[in-house]
Structure 1
Amino acid sequence: MFRKTKTRLTLLNASVMFLILALLGSSMYVYLRTAIIGQIDHALQTRAAEYTFQRPQTAVLFSEGVAAGIASIGTFNVTSRAYERSINTIVWDEELTPLTTLIPERYPVQLVEKLKRSIHLTDQFNIRHDGLVYRVMNIKITEDNAKALSYISIMDHDGYIQLISDISTETGMLNVVMGLIVIGIVFGGGLSIFAGLYLAERALVPIRLSWEKQQQFVADASHELRTPLAVLHTHTELLLRHPDHTIEQDSREISTILNEIRRMKKMVNGLLTLSQTDADKLELHMKPVLLGRLSEQVLKQVMPLASLKDIDLSWQVKPDIVVHGDEERLQQLLMIVLDNAIKYTPINGTVHLTCKASSGYAALTVTDNGNGVDAVDLPYIFDRFYRGDKGRTRTEGGAGLGLSIAKWIVTRHNGRIEASSVQYQGTKITIALPAL
């Protein structure tokens, strides 16, 4: 049933992780490339500044040649604190004819032609030739800025200066880094599938548990409703068999029907409460509550139930204990635990309630000498619909929802509830709520 969900979760998790790896790898490459190329561009710009901003020391007519300045213009190094780079220079006249004596010998004619075709490009750019990569920067020389040149002055002609740096080593290193990143991304993509599968399995654990609980809840609720409905159906048919009978004659069947309706109403109310708690729609109206006095009020309400079974109902309550809580829900909590104790205590038994302050908590204890709970069943008594003795609980009118609601109330009040029991000797319910 969860196979499609598992597949979708696996693909989603794997895709997200693969995308993260790809973004990280791409970011690393872009950062590294930007840093390296930026360093090269800085060297070119440093050299270009010497051509455009320093005052000239000599002036030579371009048309007459610049043999005297060739040595200083041709090839030079730009050195910084942690970086040294060789930069070549080619000077072009306004007819785009290069000063041949300035062209490095290792530059083939084809490369020079590529440089010539790129003479009008602005900013820095790359030119590839014969497996090598060059970083190029063009400087346009005009009559306005010719006077600012360091080594030559173009008096009556416009021209260009090209600054060229071989960056084959750097681009080769970047290609290697790119290859390693791609391999890492591919390998990481494979691992992300297994990681996605693992995460999908982990994510499905609570979903499966929730689904199983929901299925169990529906099955238990259906079972609990089916029994009273069957009783109602049977006794209604009995009434229909004798349409001439008076109410007094059929009072037994009518009483049974009424009892089952009450039981169904109680169970439906419990189911509604639990569904609201699951959806977090049940709001608590918190205020200071005198827990001792509230306990005494609930005791008065359950006294008739205890007297019907001749149960000795006793209590020891400190009336001035105050807690911060919802008075209605706390009353429901007390009613649940006392009602349970009376239900499962035999005739002439005893039920005792204590309410006292203990280490910053209001401690409530309900003790009975009933049949108790088997040690196997004790850890599950707060689960919904759980009943150790289903036949006995059915007779007593319970559906296994009360203690689940009680636990929710205690949890919402930041308290704790515990049960201890010895079979055939009795049960003890202990509740601790933060006191004011």
Structure 2
Amino acid sequence: MNKQLSKKQRINYFVINLISFASIFLILGLIVFQLVQTSIYQSVDHDLKRLSEDEKFLQHQLIQGEQLQEMPVQPDKFNTPPPNNFQQQVILWSKEGKILNEAELGSRFYDFQNLKLSTENLHKISSVQTKDSNDRSLQFRSITLPVKNQQEVVYLQLLVNTDPIKGTVDQFKQILIICMIIFGLLSIALSYFLSKWFMKPILTSWKKQQEFVENASHELRTPLTIIQAKLEKLFTKPNHTILEESETIALSLEEVQRLSQLTSDLLLLARSDSDALTLEKEPVRINRFLNTVLLPYQELAAAEEKEFIIELGQEQQVFFDKKRIHQLLIILLDNALKYTNPDEKIIVCSSVKNNEWLIKIRDTGSGIPDEKKSAVFERFYRGEQSRNRKTGGYGIGLAIAKWIVDEHQGKIELTDNLPKGTIVLVRFPIK
């Protein structure tokens, strides 16, 4: 992946993450603010609703208003404390929109002298804003009720001052905005980090894909080059018989077989990456199955003057994919034979312990250095850096083996077989 494309993709991730975080914080902030504001005003509205439905309270206010109307209004009375609660006020209105209980309101009458009567939302709680004598804004929650059987009083308005509540809401709003700004800055930093973090697996995958293509091209090119050279050689000798060129034909066929095996392995790896392969598990008698796979290798080892020992535990029935486990054992046994010299030993053990099927393959061959044990399961990896074709491998067998074990939810481990050699331990859970 070139740098320009990588940078563009990273910017896209950054923008997407930033928009996502910003949207989440904005929606969350609006929801929290709305809930807090609603819950704060809810208690005020509840009190207003309760007072508006209290007939005794309303009747008392009307009677008190009528009594105060009959008394002469004296200027010094406005300096006395009003009988009403400071937060709760009652205003009696005439049909013309005049306040009738000035004496009851006392000095607070000047706070309502600019208030206008509104009869549009009777019996409904609403917000009211007015200005006092000092031109300061006052906030109220109000409900207006019609009055029956009264000569002068036509409407009764209940008001509750909400200036302290509004101050609290405004303060909370400021704190919420500051928090959203801080979290917004954090989201920018987090979006930048996540965009960089998201790009790592993509770049790693791209790098592995490039290495895979390069290695596959190298491995495919080698047998194709040999086949091409052998066929071109045949054209230089058109009069030769098949018997005379049997060695050239045999080498070409050998490379064709190797090429066919390589393409099959590459196709298997490609399908495994795309999850296009599924296991076909069935109940299998493991000792009978292992004997079928191991006995031919025992004969092959004897022909190469190598000791091949089979140690099988008690017969058990296990569910697994016979084809894939057979392929796994062939890969492991081929490697054991490949890196074991004549007069050396290979031991294959099978047992069932603690709900696990254990397969252990020990050899006394050349062994694997500790720093290379984790790398041998990578595709096209070879312990021999010269890529010596003498062993006949392409470095993808153990990658396939690892995939087969993983698909069976198992584990494969490599350890040293002292004094020399390698131990391959495969564990399969038994469900």
TM band (smaller chain): 0.7 to 0.9
How far apart are the structure 1 equivalents of 2:71 and 2:227?
A: 120
Query: Match of 1:204, SS?
Result: helix
* 1:112 partnered with 2:113: yes
Q: How does 1:235-384 map to 2 (within 5 A)?
A: 235-303=230-298, 305-306=300-301, 308-318=303-313, 320-384=315-379
* 1:154 partnered with 2:156: no
* 1:211 partnered with 2:213: no
Q: Which amino acid aligns with 2:94?
A: D
1:308 Cα deviation after fit: 5.0
Alignment coverage as a number of residue pairs? 414
Partner of 1:49: 53
1:158 Cα deviation after fit: 7.3
How far apart are the structure 1 equivalents of 2:255 and 2:61?
A: 114
How far apart are the structure 1 equivalents of 2:355 and 2:427?
A: 10
Partner of 2:96: 95
Q: 1:308 to 1:232 in 2, by over 3 A?
A: farther
Partner of 1:14: 18
Q: 1:95 to 1:223 in 2, by over 3 A?
A: same
The TM-score with structure 1 as length reference comes to 0.83
Query: Match of 1:294, SS?
Result: helix
1:119 Cα deviation after fit: 3.8
Q: 1:61 to 1:179 in 2, by over 3 A?
A: closer
* 1:134 partnered with 2:129: no
Q: 1:60 to 1:356 in 2, by over 3 A?
A: closer
Q: 1:99 to 1:323 in 2, by over 3 A?
A: same
1:205 Cα deviation after fit: 2.9
Partner of 2:41: 37
Q: 1:397 to 1:159 in 2, by over 3 A?
A: same
Q: 1:236 to 1:126 in 2, by over 3 A?
A: farther
Partner of 1:82: none
* 1:67 partnered with 2:65: no
Partner of 2:407: 412
Query: Match of 1:370, SS?
Result: coil
Q: 1:57 to 1:381 in 2, by over 3 A?
A: closer
* 1:28 partnered with 2:32: yes
1:298 Cα deviation after fit: 0.9
CA contact under 8 A between 1:10 and 1:200: conserved in structure 2? yes
Q: 1:95 to 1:128 in 2, by over 3 A?
A: closer
Q: 1:11 to 1:107 in 2, by over 3 A?
A: farther
User: Which has the higher mean CA deviation after the structures are superposed, 345-354 or 422-431?
Assistant: 422-431
User: Which has the higher mean CA deviation after the structures are superposed, 303-312 or 375-384?
Assistant: 303-312
1:98 Cα deviation after fit: 2.7
How far apart are the structure 2 equivalents of 1:354 and 1:141?
A: 98
How far apart are the structure 2 equivalents of 1:126 and 1:196?
A: 44
Q: 1:222 to 1:424 in 2, by over 3 A?
A: farther
Gaps in structure 1 of 5+ consecutive residues: 78-84, 147-152
1:276-329 CA distances to partner (integer Å, 9 max, x unpaired)?
222222211222222222111112333564355333333222361332211111
Q: 1:422 to 1:287 in 2, by over 3 A?
A: closer
Partner of 1:385: 380
Q: Which amino acid aligns with 2:121?
A: L
Q: 1:301 to 1:52 in 2, by over 3 A?
A: farther
1:393 Cα deviation after fit: 4.9
Q: 1:349 to 1:391 in 2, by over 3 A?
A: farther
Query: Match of 2:21, SS?
Result: helix
Gaps in structure 2 of 5+ consecutive residues: none
CA contact under 8 A between 1:336 and 1:402: conserved in structure 2? yes
How far apart are the structure 1 equivalents of 2:25 and 2:387?
A: 61
User: Which has the higher mean CA deviation after the structures are superposed, 338-347 or 418-427?
Assistant: 418-427
How far apart are the structure 1 equivalents of 2:130 and 2:60?
A: 34
Percent identical residues: 28
Q: 1:166 to 1:434 in 2, by over 3 A?
A: closer
1:35-91 CA distances to partner (integer Å, 9 max, x unpaired)?
2222222222233223588767987998x99436999xx8523xxxxxxx6222222
The TM-score with structure 2 as length reference comes to 0.84
Partner of 1:429: 424
How far apart are the structure 2 equivalents of 1:359 and 1:50?
A: 77
How far apart are the structure 2 equivalents of 1:424 and 1:379?
A: 21
How far apart are the structure 1 equivalents of 2:72 and 2:380?
A: 101
1:112-148 CA distances to partner (integer Å, 9 max, x unpaired)?
34423x3433422221433423324343425xxx2xx
1:10-56 CA distances to partner (integer Å, 9 max, x unpaired)?
23323333333223332232222112222222222233223588767
Q: 1:199 to 1:66 in 2, by over 3 A?
A: same
Q: Which amino acid aligns with 1:5?
A: Q
Query: Match of 2:87, SS?
Result: strand
How far apart are the structure 2 equivalents of 1:189 and 1:61?
A: 56
1:352 Cα deviation after fit: 2.6
CA contact under 8 A between 2:140 and 2:163: conserved in structure 1? no
Q: Which amino acid aligns with 1:43?
A: D
1:230 Cα deviation after fit: 1.5
What is the aligned counterpart of 2:161 among 160, 163, 166?
166
